[in-house]
Amino acid sequence: MVLQFTDRGIYCPAGDFHIDPWRPVPRALITHGHADHARPGHGAYLATRTAAPVIRHRLGDIPLDTIAYGETRRIGDAQVSFHPAGHVPGSAQIRVEVGGEIWVASGDYKTVDDGLSEPFEPVRCHAFITESTFGLPIYSWPDQAVLAADINGWWAENATAGRTSVLGVYSLGKAQRVLRLLDPSLGPILTHGAVEATNRVIRGQGLALPDTIQVTPDLDAKTHPGAMVLAPPSALGSAWMRRFGAVSTGFASGWMRLRGVRRRRAADRGFVISDHADWDGLNSAIRATGADRIFVTHGYTAQFSRWLTTQGYDAGIVETDYGGETLDEVTEEDPA
Ligand SMILES: [Zn+2]
Ligand SMILES: [Zn+2]
C-alpha cells in the first residue's frame, strides 16, 4: 500500500511521512490550515505556499517548509506533489507515487470555484482518499449568484427595517467567501476579531477582500446603522451581540439545507453555502480521478461508501479524526 491508515493518521511507509496526522509525528504533510488537519506538535511540516500563512498564524513558530502546486518532491522512495483542492486558499490534495502506483489524499475539497481558493483540479490516480461531509443526494449547492442575491437581499431588508444583520461564518474560508459575495454599497461590513484576524492573513498574501471594520467596544448599531456583521457561529446569541440592538441573525453552512438544523441553531435565516463538495461535486471529482479504489474518511461514510460500491468502485471506510464542517465549529474555528 502506498498509503496506510494508522492511529496517528494517513502514513506513507516508502517516504516515512504522515498526511494530516492527528497525533504528533516526525514529518507531516498538511493539506490545509483547518484545525482538524493542521495540528501542533509535529517534528516537520510541509504545506503549500498559500496555505502556510494561515497555518503559521494558527500554530505559531513551527518548522514549516513550503511547496508550490504541481512541484514534485522526492521524500524517501516516494514522489509527492500538491494540487489545488478548492476548499480554502492554499488547500491541497496530496499526490503520492511509489513504484508507479499513485494515491491521492484529498483532505477537504469542493469543486465550485469560489473566486478565492485555487480551483479544484482532478488528479488521475489508482486510489483516492475522499471526504463525504455532504455525501447524500439531498445536498446540492445553489449557484453563487443566487446565493449572493439572497444574502444581499436579506441585508438590505434588515437595514431598511433598522436592524443589524449578524451572519455566523467560520473564520477561515467561509468568512472570506461570504465577504466576496457581499455588496459593500449596502452599508458597512463589521467583523468579529476572530474573523478579522484571518482576514488580515488572507489580505497579507495578496487576496483582495472588501473593506471591513473590526468590532471594538466603541462600535455599535448607532455608530454603524444597517451594518452587516460577520462573526463566528459561537458568537450568535452571545452577550457580544447585545451592542447591535435589534438584529436579524443568519448562519451560512451546508447544513442549512436541513430545516431542523436551522431551528436548532436559532438563526433567523439559513444560507446554504459550504466549503465542501456537494453530492454531485463528490461524484464528479471521484469519476475524474479514474481511480477504482476509494477510501472514505469522514462525513456520511457508511452511506457514501455503499453508494460507491453500487457504482462499481472498490470502496471502503477509514476511521480518522477529521471533523468536516461541524455545527459546533469545534474543528473549523480558531482555537483562540
Ligand atoms: Zn477544512
Ligand atoms: Zn476537515
End-to-end CA distance of the chain: 38
- Secondary structure percentages of the chain, helix, strand, coil, to 5: 25, 25, 50
pLDDT in the model for residue 237: 83
Kindly give the distance from the C-alpha atom of residue 282 to the centroid of ligand 2, in angstroms, as a whole number: 15
Look at residue 262 in the predicted model and tell me its pLDDT: 62
Beta-carbon neighbours within 5 Å of ion ligand 2: 36, 108, 322
* Mean per-residue pLDDT over the chain, rounded: 93
- Over residues 190-202, the mean pLDDT reads 96
Cα(180) to centroid of ligand 1, in Å?
A: 19
Cα 268 from Cα 276, distance rounded (Å): 23
Burial class for 193, CB neighbours closer than 10 Å (0-12, 13-18, 19+): middle
204, pLDDT greater than 90: yes
Q: In this prediction, what percent of the chain has a pLDDT beyond 70?
A: 94
Place of cell 494558527: 58
C-alpha triplet 37, 169, 286: angle, nearest 5°? 50
Quote the ligand 1 centre to 298 CA distance (angstroms). 11
Cα separation values, 202 from 72, 91, 172, 195, 334, Å: 26, 13, 9, 11, 15
3-state secondary structure of 277: coil
What domains are there in the chain, each with its CATH number? 4-139+275-317 (3.60.15.10), 144-271 (3.40.50.10710)
Do 19 and 9 contact (CB within 8 A), yes or no?
yes
Strand order from edge to edge, sheet including 269-271:
213-214, 189-191, 228-231, 164-168, 247-252, 269-271
How does pLDDT run across 64-80, given as a tens digit for each residue?
999 999 999 999 999 99
Q: pLDDT tens-digit profile of 221-276?
A: 999 999 999 999 889 888 999 999 999 999 998 888 887 666 566 689 999 999 99
Q: Which residue has the cell 468502485?
A: 313
Ligand of minimum distance to the alpha carbon of 32: 1
Spacing, Cα 34 to ligand 2 middle (Å): 6
Find the radius of gyration of the CA atoms of the chain: 20
* C-alpha torsion sign, points 30, 234, 113, 263: positive
For residue 336, the model assigns a pLDDT of 27
Expressed in angstroms and rounded, the spacing between residue 132 Cα and the centre of ligand 1 is: 12
Return d(Cα 278, Cα 229) in angstroms, integer.
27
Q: Which ligand is nearest to the CA of 109?
A: 1
Q: With bands split at pLDDT 50, 70 and 90, how would you rate the model's confidence at 9?
A: very high
